[in-house]
Chain A
Amino acid sequence: MSTPFTSAQTANAPVRLPPANFSKWLKAIRRDAFGILMLVALFIVIIGPMIAVILWAFTQPGGWRYPSLIPTRWGLNYWADTLMRADVTRALPLSIGLATVVTALSAAICLPAAYAFARMNFPGRQALLLSFLATNAFPRFGLYISIAIIFFRLGLIATIPGVILIQIVNTLLLMIWIPTSAFQGVDRTLEEAALDVGASRVRVFLQVTLPLVLPALAAALLLTFVSTFYEAQGALLIGIPNVITMPVLMYDIINSQPEPQYGAVISLVLWLPSLLLLLFAQRFVRGGAISAGFGV
């Protein structure tokens, strides 16, 4: 507005003057000093390394030297170079394909079981459901080694089926526990009402139950896809030297590539699915589904 304050305006609605606002701010800061301290510390420690990666991805050859805080010469020089490397163009489709197959297989195996765990009554139900949590009790890489020994005898080392199998191990817990809690959360009276007015059981499942659990199922699928896409240890142990996924390729690039730009560009490309998940899953993570998967 171009007109300055009139006395009527100030009388009706007290204008928030900057000084008053500022002191309120100060008070809030003083009250939450601990929070602000943590915010700053976490920002440097958590976001700092990520900023370094982003900056490196847009740096020209030799364009960032100590003691400059940011690159001095910027450019997209490494993007085409990195994305057209033969190992990258082979690994990226392989990783996406593997994650898709593993997620689909895991869903086919686990979702009917989750329904049974949530809705059916049978002896041993609690103990069997808990046995999936017991997988947390094994140190992960030791377990992979003992699987690898068996795969070695079965000739599954350095094959795609071998990598699929070891990656499924990682998905079971998520695919059982999140859908089970979703099916348990469905209000039974809605289904009974539909049955009362003459709907068939199949129709009730498709039109009442399924829509109610769909968000949680979608979250489970997405979490499984992303975590499989990034699974590196099992794929390294079982896959090399024939099956090289993107994360496995990253090991090699980190260890053998002196210019950080290659790793930085691949990191940013690799990171895309995770950022998508970040946008989608924030609410879900806070809802406690993940902590439920550890038996809290």
Chain B
Amino acid sequence: METAQLTTARPAPAVPARRDWSALFAYLLISPPLLVLTLLIFIPAAQAVIETLSTTDAATGQTTLTLQNYIAFFQDPILVANLEFTIQITIATVALLFVIGFPLALYLRFSKSRIAAAVQVLALFPLFVPGVILSFALIEFLGSHGMFDTMLNLIGIQGYRTPYQHLQGIVIALVWENIPFTVLILTAGLRQVEDAVVESARDVGANFWQIFTRILLPLSKRSAMIVLCLNIIGVFGAFTIPYLLGPAQPMTMGVSMQQTFNRYEDRTGALTQAVITFLFCAVVGVLYVRTITQPREGQR
């Protein structure tokens, strides 16, 4: 399988005389998905920003710019607590994903043993477990008097307190769900470091730590950046896991938005919360887009 190369493998230039027509035909072919992308992603997102920043006077029908929706959000202690809760979960999840994912990826990149193959199968397994099933499984496994509690009990550990309906439960499930993605991307990045580079460093007497900090880390910066950005955005935009595993209060932003929209039918309130998650992710999103549009090292 060739992977889509951004900078190489450009199609051969078409015959100049037919060029205009073939370009037109190409635009025709790509317009349907671009239309869906524009109508269902870019326009709703832009509309959300505009709508929450404006207010229409019922009497005169005049629309004016206002921050009142955002002021209302930040004056509501429950909503602010929800935002803080989401940020805490994001930081904890992303940090844990790196602590677990980086050693796993390094191991999978450099070990060729049968155990490594088995570790890889297990690390990718969550890719094939949908969020609702995962949430149900973790409730049964980690709940008080669940299977994990029983296992601890068997080896003599008492006083287990379940993470279910606590921040920890959400973090555990989100880490579980995102390990395959993290390991896949980090391993793919490490694979771009050639064996020969590592071996020649080893030949001149570099130890593991030197190889790690001077070669592997700098060369896998791109994939680490992608993992960081997408995991932050992913956790911020999560719904199923926090909804099923989290406490009733505080909620994550995703759950809060859904409740505001479906239960309280407060559309503007839900939209304001959505835009706040956009803003929090915007910095990271820009970083992500910049990372993927930059040409890869050594491929310019």
Question: A residues engaging B (CB < 8 A)?
Answer: 28, 32, 34-36, 38-39, 42-43, 45-53, 55-56, 66-69, 109-110, 112-113, 115-123, 125-126, 128-143, 145-150, 152, 165-166, 168-169, 172, 175-177, 180-182, 184-185, 188, 216, 230, 232-233, 236-237, 240, 247, 250-251, 254-255, 260, 263-264, 267, 270-271, 274-275, 277-278, 282, 284-292, 294-296
Contacts and interface: CB of A to CB of B under 8 A. Distances in A.
Contacts of A51: 147
A46 B237 contact: no
B257 A35 contact: no
A50 B142 CA distance: 12
Nearest to A248: B132
Interface of B: 1-6, 9-14, 19, 22-23, 25-27, 29-34, 36-37, 40-41, 43-45, 47-48, 51, 103-104, 107, 111, 113, 115-116, 118-142, 145-151, 153-154, 176, 181, 184-185, 188-189, 191, 222-223, 226, 229-230, 233-234, 236-240, 243-244, 253-254, 257-258, 261-262, 267, 270-271, 273-275, 277-278, 280-281, 284-286, 288-289, 291-293
Contacts of B293: 130
Interface of chain B, helix or strand or loop or mixed? helix
Contact of B1 (A172, A185, A240, A247): A185
Given A130-B6, A288-B188, A296-B188, A119 B150 contact: no
Please provide the 7 A-B residue pairs with the shortest distance between their CB atoms, ordered closest to farther.
A139-B237, A137-B285, A295-B292, A185-B2, A230-B130, A140-B237, A181-B4
A143 B44 contact: yes
Given A184-B5, A254-B244, A237 B132 contact: no
Output the residue of B25, B30, B234, B277 with the most chain A CB within 10 A: B30
A278 B128 contact: yes
20 contacts: A38-B104, A49-B142, A51-B147, A66-B149, A69-B154, A113-B32, A120-B22, A121-B26, A142-B254, A149-B47, A152-B267, A172-B36, A181-B2, A236-B239, A264-B136, A267-B133, A278-B128, A282-B124, A291-B3, A296-B222
Contact of B33 (A48, A109, A138): A109
A49 B151 contact: no
A123 B27 CA distance: 10
A39 B22 contact: no
B289 A120 contact: no
Contacts of A233: 239-240, 254
Contacts of B136: 53, 250, 254, 263-264, 267
Contact of A254 (B31, B139, B185): B139
Contacts of A232: 130-132, 240
Contacts of A122: 22-23, 26-27
Contacts of A130: 6, 289, 292-293
Nearest to B277: A142
Nearest to B6: A126
Given A139-B237, A184-B4, A295-B226, A172 B261 contact: no
B38 to A, nearest CB: 9
Contact of B237 (A125, A126, A141, A166): A141
A49 B244 contact: no
Given A116-B30, A122-B26, A46 B2 contact: no
Nearest to A284: B1
A43 B51 CA distance: 48
A36 B31 CA distance: 51
A48 to B, nearest CB: 6
B281 A138 contact: yes
Given A123-B23, A295-B6, 19 more contacts: A39-B118, A42-B123, A52-B140, A109-B32, A112-B29, A116-B25, A121-B14, A128-B34, A139-B253, A140-B237, A141-B253, A142-B253, A145-B270, A146-B275, A247-B131, A278-B125, A284-B1, A288-B191, A294-B292
A194 to B, nearest CB: 17
A294 B33 contact: no
Contacts of B270: 145, 148-149
Given A120-B11, A181-B3, A291-B188, A38 B107 contact: yes
Contact of A52 (B32, B37, B146): B146
Contacts of B47: 146, 149-150
A145 B230 contact: no
A271 B47 CA distance: 37
Contact of B132 (A123, A129, A216, A230): A230
Contact of B41 (A45, A113, A143, A286): A143
B147 A137 contact: no
A140 to B, nearest CB: 4
Contact of A35 (B111, B150, B154, B253): B111
A288 B3 contact: yes
Contact of A169 (B36, B148, B151, B234): B36
Contacts of A146: 44-45, 47-48, 271, 274-275
Contacts of B14: 120-121
Nearest to A230: B130
Contacts of A180: 4
Contacts of B44: 143, 146-147, 149-150
